[in-house]
Amino acid sequence: MANSIYDFKMNALDGAPIDFNKYEGKTLLIVNVASKCGYTPQYGDLQKLHENFGDKVTILGFPANNFGGQEPGSNEEIAEFCQKNYGVGFQMFEKISVKGDDQSPLYAWLKEKTGEEPTWNFCKYLVKPDGTVKFYPSKVKPMDDEILKEL
């Protein structure tokens, strides 16, 4: 198991590898996303957070099909959907599993740190540079005071 969030390496939506050590010293908001969910409009809020507070928080989106089959698309389809519908400019990654037997090591690490794993799409983990991690359920929107006060 990784000691730090900065020990991870994962592929971007276009397949390019990203070493998380490039995020060292930054506050991260890690979100499991889906294109066909009641919470999908949060993509718009995530983009707004990225545009308005990008100097204070780095958003990392992880498409996952763990809940209700709400992210059935390929990485290419997900990229097209995000750009066309929400103008997503924050970092998106390849589709992963966020719970279960095939859970991504990143999400296993987040679960170990918080005791929480995603219960649905658009759950959020706020990772501070000091290593503290806070979990927010889907119903907490990216622009809610609960998150903004932590930035």
Q: Is residue 96 part of a domain?
A: yes
Among the options 28, 37, 78, 96, which is catalytic? Answer: 37
pLDDT tens digits for 7-46?
999 999 999 999 999 999 999 999 999 999 999 999 999 9
User: Which band of pLDDT confidence, cut at 50, 70 and 90, is reported for residue 2?
Assistant: confident
CATH number of the domain that 42 lies in? Answer: 3.40.30.10
Of the candidates 61, 59, 58, 60, the residue with the CA atom closest to the CA atom of residue 26: 58
**Inside any domain, residue 81:** yes
Q: Using H for helix, E for strand and C for coil, what is the string for 89-147?
A: CCEEECCECCCCCCCCHHHHHHHHHHCCCCCCCCCEEEECCCCCEEEECCCCCCCCHHH
Answering whether pTM is above 0.85, one says yes
Is 37 annotated in the active site? Answer: yes
**What's the pLDDT score for residue 97?**
98
Q: Is the pLDDT of residue 114 over 90?
A: yes
Domain assignment present for 111: yes
What is the span of the domain harbouring residue 26?
10-127
